[in-house]
Chains A and B, each alone.
Chain A
């Protein structure tokens, strides 16, 4: 099964859904992501077979310890892409195209290390050679937003939609967790019409998961929890450390997670990282 995870690095990742996958019987996943702790946590849980990525970073901590461990031990296979190629693959899937042409990835080791990537020649007078970025079709997209209504209309209040709408378009099924489910008419009381990122036709399921992006940010409500990410990173040091992290923060209910992470008022007061 191939899943795509919205957000970017340590920003607006659907971590409550990721923790649920780590608890589930799902195995051998192909994960497509602008990666942060979503990737590291699924690697540490041993459920990733292949990663399709442009980067994995915790932003406030540049390198992702669990992802490093998985790569350096040879536990996962990868398709390393340029960030823009990943976007192009999602778009191609969303538009039901076999590929979209792009220059990124040519003439460097992205092409060499991914022999499945092919080039195409422009049929027009220019005859340019371009990389044919194949569609990245997803079985499921997992996203986290500020608000949804019960039918799936979804609102993002932060300043960057990242590529969440493209993940939704590329996926057979899209599941959205949100800080709060609101009546449809209340959405525009919270933000302007541009904040309504996803229409209900592209969303298959919604779930209310307050603080469901923690320890990543959900701007404007809360920032990246750098302190928690240090604890999480340190859990890569040994199997025992990971088992301890898992027992405290993954194999628990959502309510217990929020309490273990310091409680609602602490999370709401996490300042926004200054980059």
Chain B
């Protein structure tokens, strides 16, 4: 469990957990192994008021470990069928981290399809809840493989909203939306570049700003105090080992 892939995954998870810092008593939704572990880690460390589900229909009092559960029993504290997730997200009481297939400079993500929407080259899931999530509450993203094919000049379909002024019609409320953090296998980014564009906040150990730029199809801004992504602490590593007893995170990055 100390191989290179697990180490990188742990680093990404600890960095992604920072997305929820200071969020208070809201629903933390992490869709996918790394986002879910990141939300769980945030809850168990710096953000103890967060709420999470079992990824199905109940709220739990502690994060549910990933994979087969053995004797583990869910600690249920509430009911959260899919319809109530909509109630919560429309009220803005949620911060979701999802895994887009494509993401661009102004934060538009695509999980719908590759190619022409009229007749796609590859049909993916469909927009799911991304349009409603992104316009109603804070969203963050994890991209396991940072390449010019995932960090694209323009997404083939904008499954959600982003920071292009031209796409916001008069009278549409923008003040509920925030795209907070993007974590990839190479770097951590936010949208505090010029004109709310994507900006490198930190690069992972052994990765340079130039390397991140070379794997990105658009020009990234760079934070003036860009630094190295901090390594996870022993406390964080112990929590992750307990939350992922089967080591699923080892194959979740890269």
Q: Does A associate with B in a complex?
A: yes
B-contacting residues of A (Cβ < 8 Å)? Answer: 8, 35, 53-57, 62-63, 67-68, 71-72, 74, 80-85, 87, 102-110, 112-113, 119, 121, 127-129, 159-163, 274-275
Max chain A CB contacts within 10 Å: which of B56, B90, B176?
Answer: B56
A-contacting residues of B (Cβ < 8 Å)? Answer: 54-58, 67-69, 79, 81-83, 86, 89-90, 108, 112-113, 117-132, 134-136, 157-162, 167-174, 176
Chain A residues closer than 8 Å to B171, beta-carbon distance: 121, 127-129
Chain A nearest CB, measured from B242 CB (Å): 17
Q: Roughly how many angstroms separate A219 CA and B227 CA in the complex, as a whole number?
A: 49
Chain A residues closer than 8 Å to B131, beta-carbon distance: 82, 84-85, 104-106, 108, 110
Selected contact of A82 from candidates B68, B127, B173, CB within 8 Å: B127
Max chain A CB contacts within 10 Å: which of B56, B131, B173?
Answer: B131
Q: Which residue on chain B has the smallest CB distance to residue A65?
A: B123
Q: A54-B128, A72-B119 are in contact. Are A108 and B158 (CB under 8 A)?
A: yes
Q: A107-B135, A113-B117, A160-B81 are in contact. Are A275 and B55 (CB under 8 A)?
A: yes
Interface pair B158/A83, CB less than 8 Å apart: no
Interface pair A68/B122, CB less than 8 Å apart: yes
Interface pair B119/A81, CB less than 8 Å apart: no
Chain A residues closer than 8 Å to B128, beta-carbon distance: 54-55, 82-83
Q: Which residue on chain A has the smallest CB distance to residue B79?
A: A159
Chain A nearest CB, measured from B107 CB (Å): 11
Chain A residues closer than 8 Å to B169, beta-carbon distance: 106-107, 119, 129
Q: A82-B131, A110-B127, A128-B172 are in contact. Are A162 and B56 (CB under 8 A)?
A: no
Q: A83-B132, A129-B169, A162-B82 are in contact. Are A71 and B161 (CB under 8 A)?
A: no
Interface pair A159/B56, CB less than 8 Å apart: yes
Ordered by A's residue number, 27 sampled pairs between the chains whose C-beta atoms are within 8 Å are A71-B123, A72-B123, A80-B127, A81-B127, A82-B131, A83-B132, A85-B132, A103-B172, A104-B135, A105-B131, A105-B132, A106-B131, A106-B135, A106-B172, A108-B162, A110-B131, A113-B157, A128-B172, A128-B173, A129-B170, A129-B171, A159-B56, A159-B79, A160-B81, A162-B82, A163-B83, A274-B68
Q: Roughly how many angstroms separate A55 CA and B168 CA in the complex, as a whole number?
A: 25
Q: Which residue on chain A has the smallest CB distance to residue B87?
A: A84
Interface pair B57/A159, CB less than 8 Å apart: yes
Q: A87-B86, A108-B160 are in contact. Are A103 and B173 (CB under 8 A)?
A: yes
Interface pair B132/A103, CB less than 8 Å apart: yes
Chain B residues closer than 8 Å to A63, beta-carbon distance: 123-125
Interface pair A103/B135, CB less than 8 Å apart: yes
Interface pair B119/A74, CB less than 8 Å apart: yes
Max chain B CB contacts within 10 Å: which of A53, A84, A113?
Answer: A84
Chain B residues closer than 8 Å to A68, beta-carbon distance: 122-123
Q: Roughly how many angstroms separate A150 CA and B96 CA in the complex, as a whole number?
A: 43
Chain A nearest CB, measured from B119 CB (Å): 5
Chain A residues closer than 8 Å to B108, beta-carbon distance: 108
Q: A84-B86, A160-B81 are in contact. Are A72 and B122 (CB under 8 A)?
A: yes
Q: Roughly how many angstroms separate A103 CA and B89 CA in the complex, as a whole number?
A: 11
Selected contact of A107 from candidates B57, B90, B121, B167, CB within 8 Å: B167
Interface pair A108/B134, CB less than 8 Å apart: yes
Interface pair B126/A54, CB less than 8 Å apart: yes
Q: Which residue on chain B has the smallest CB distance to residue A194?
A: B79
Q: Roughly how many angstroms separate A274 CA and B157 CA in the complex, as a whole number?
A: 31
Chain B residues closer than 8 Å to A159, beta-carbon distance: 56-58, 79, 81
Interface pair B119/A129, CB less than 8 Å apart: no
Q: Which residue on chain A has the smallest CB distance to residue B81?
A: A160
Known contacts A54-B129, A68-B123, then 7 further A-B pairs from the complex at CB < 8 Å, ordered by chain A residue: A74-B119, A83-B128, A103-B172, A108-B127, A108-B130, A159-B56, A160-B82
Chain B nearest CB, measured from A164 CB (Å): 10
Q: Roughly how many angstroms separate A203 CA and B162 CA in the complex, as a whole number?
A: 43
Q: Which residue on chain A has the smallest CB distance to residue B119?
A: A74
